[in-house]
Chains A and B, each alone.
Chain A
Amino acid sequence: MEVEVKVPIVSQEDKKGVINQWYKSDGDEVKEGEEIAEVMIEKVTIIVKAPVSGKLRILVPENEEISQGQVIAVVETE
Chain B
Amino acid sequence: MARKLPMYKAISEAIAQEMERDENVFVMGEDIGAYGGIFGATTGLLEKFGPERVRDTPISEAAFIGAALGAASKGMRPIVELMFVDFFGVAMDQIYNHIAKAHYMSGGQVKMPVVIMTAMGGGYSDAAQHSQCLYGLFAHVPGLKIVIPSNSYDAKGLMISAIRDDNPVMYFFHKGLMGLGWMPSPPEATVEVPEEPYTVPIGEAKVVKEGSDVTIVGVAKMVYEALWAAEELEKEGIGAEVIDLRTLVPVDKKTLLNSVKKTGRLVVVDEDYRSYGMSGEVIATVVENGISLEAPPVRVAYPDVPVPYSRVLERYVLPDKEKIINAVKSIM
Name A residues whose Cβ lies closer than 8 Å to a Cβ of B.
Answer: 18, 20-21, 38, 40, 42-43, 45
Contacts and interface: CB of A to CB of B under 8 A. Distances in A.
Nearest to B183: A43
Contacts of B180: 43, 45
Could you tell me the dominant secondary structure of chain B's interface residues? loop
Interface of A is mostly: strand
Contacts of A20: 181
Q: Which of B180, B181, B182 has the largest number of chain A CB atoms within 10 A?
A: B181
B78 interface: no
Question: Which of B40, B43, B180, B182 has most A Cβ within 10 Å?
Answer: B182
A38 B40 CA distance: 13
Nearest to A63: B181
A72 B59 CA distance: 39
A-B pairs, top 8 by smallest CB distance, nearest first, are A20-B181, A40-B181, A43-B182, A45-B181, A45-B40, A40-B182, A45-B180, A38-B181
A20 B182 CA distance: 9
Interface string B172-185: 00000000111000
Interface string B32-43: 000000001001
Contacts of B182: 40, 42-43
8 contacts: A38-B181, A40-B181, A42-B182, A43-B180, A45-B40, A45-B43, A45-B180, A45-B181
Given A18-B181, A45-B180, 11 more contacts: A20-B181, A21-B181, A38-B181, A40-B181, A40-B182, A42-B182, A43-B180, A43-B182, A45-B40, A45-B43, A45-B181
Contacts of B40: 45
Nearest to A62: B181
Contacts of A21: 181
Contacts of A43: 180, 182
Nearest to A38: B181
A40 B179 CA distance: 12
Contacts of B43: 45
* Among A38, A40, A45: residue with most chain B CB under 10 A: A45
Contacts of A38: 181
B124 to A, nearest CB: 12
B39 to A, nearest CB: 10
**Most B Cβ at <10 Å: residue of A18, A38, A40, A43:** A43
Interface string B315-326: 000000000000
A11 to B, nearest CB: 13
A26 B181 CA distance: 21
Nearest to B40: A45
A38 B182 CA distance: 12
Contacts of A18: 181
A45 B185 CA distance: 15
Nearest to A19: B181
A21 B182 CA distance: 12
Contacts of B181: 18, 20-21, 38, 40, 45
Nearest to B3: A23
Interface string B243-269: 000000000000000000000000000
A21 B5 CA distance: 12
B212 to A, nearest CB: 38
Interface in B127-164: none
A47 to B, nearest CB: 8
Contacts of A40: 181-182
A21 B40 CA distance: 16
A43 to B, nearest CB: 5
